[in-house]
Amino acid sequence: MSEHEDELADAQTESPSSLGRRRALSIGVGVLGGGLALGPLIPALGYILHPLSNTITSAGEGFIGVGGRGQFGPTIPIKVDLFADRKDAWSVTRQVKIGSCWVLEREGELKAFSTVCPHLGCSIDFDTEANAFRCPCHRSEFDLDGKPVEGPSPRALDTLEVKEEKELVAIRYRRFRQNISEKVEV
Ligand code: FES
């Protein structure tokens, strides 16, 4: 009898439980072999898929135009939305809203205050009756210079850089850490 015929004969006489063990063993060896073969490919896959899981935003690096100088006066702040291109790994989305700010003139100079509350990040409103900035979440209140006058905010409203060029106004948008007394960019 040949070796192959011997093996066949063995398999026919083997009990079902022994056949099951043999199958489980061969599946385990297959999985282990497959894992070892894929091992070197994992860093390469990570490299290829990396951009899908990691969005990089470079929007708002520069100044963003918000309109003519004439629209901003000393009494009522104007809220402006800031738009910029958002860059992901492989694509650019044009003109995405990246934030907002309040703009007004103080002693002849334009000031821009981020609408993000320095306390816990709610959106700051302007109350025309009280002539003050207010946060609806925990009732922080700020005067027209952005100074806190009431509530839990640990610092003044965050100012943003303003540039005026040929009667046009541009603002550099930034975000800052919340609930700390210093203004620290994130
Ligand atoms: S988030 Fe504005 S006062 Fe708390």
Return the pLDDT at 52: 39
CA of 144 to the centre of ligand 1 (A): 17
At which residue do the structure tokens 């965050």 appear?
Answer: 158
For 126-168, the pLDDT digits (tens) are: 999 999 999 999 999 999 999 999 999 999 999 999 999 999 9
DSSP 8-state assignment for residue 5? H
Burial group, residue 133, by CB count within 10 angstroms (0-12, 13-18, 19+): buried
3-state secondary structure of 56: coil
Question: Which of 163, 165, 164, 137 is closest to 152 using CA atoms?
Answer: 137
Neighbour-count burial of 160, counting CB atoms closer than 10 A to its CB (0-12 exposed, 13-18 middle, 19+ buried):
buried
Other CB atoms closer than 10 Å to residue 101's CB: what's the count? 26
Give the model's pLDDT for residue 2: 53
Tell me, what's the pLDDT at 130?
Answer: 96
pLDDT at 86: 86
**Residue with CA closest to ligand 1 atom 3:** 138
Mark the ranges of the chain whose per-residue pLDDT is less than 50. 8, 11, 31-32, 35, 39, 42-60
Rounded Cα gap, residues 4 and 36, in angstroms: 30
CA of 134 to the centre of ligand 1 (A): 9
Q: How far apart are the first and last CA of the chain?
A: 79
pTM of whole model > 0.85?
A: no
65 Cβ contact partners less than 8 Å away, ≥ 6 residues apart: 168, 169, 170
pLDDT confidence of residue 22: 57
Q: How far is the CA of 114 from the centre of ligand 1 (A)?
A: 13
Q: Closest ligand 1 atom to the C-alpha of 140?
A: 3
d(CA 114, CA 146): 10
Q: Where are the beta strands (DSSP E) in 31-158?
A: 63-68, 78-87, 92-106, 109-114, 125-127, 132-134, 141-142, 148-150
In the reported structure, the alpha carbon of residue 124 is separated from the centroid of ligand 1 by a whole-number distance in angstroms of 8
Q: How far, in Å, CA of 62 to CA of 140, rounded? A: 30
Structure tokens at 75: 């009494």
Residue located via tokens 């860093």: 43
Q: Which atom of ligand 1 is nearest to the CA of 153?
A: 3
Element (H, E) at 171: strand 168-172
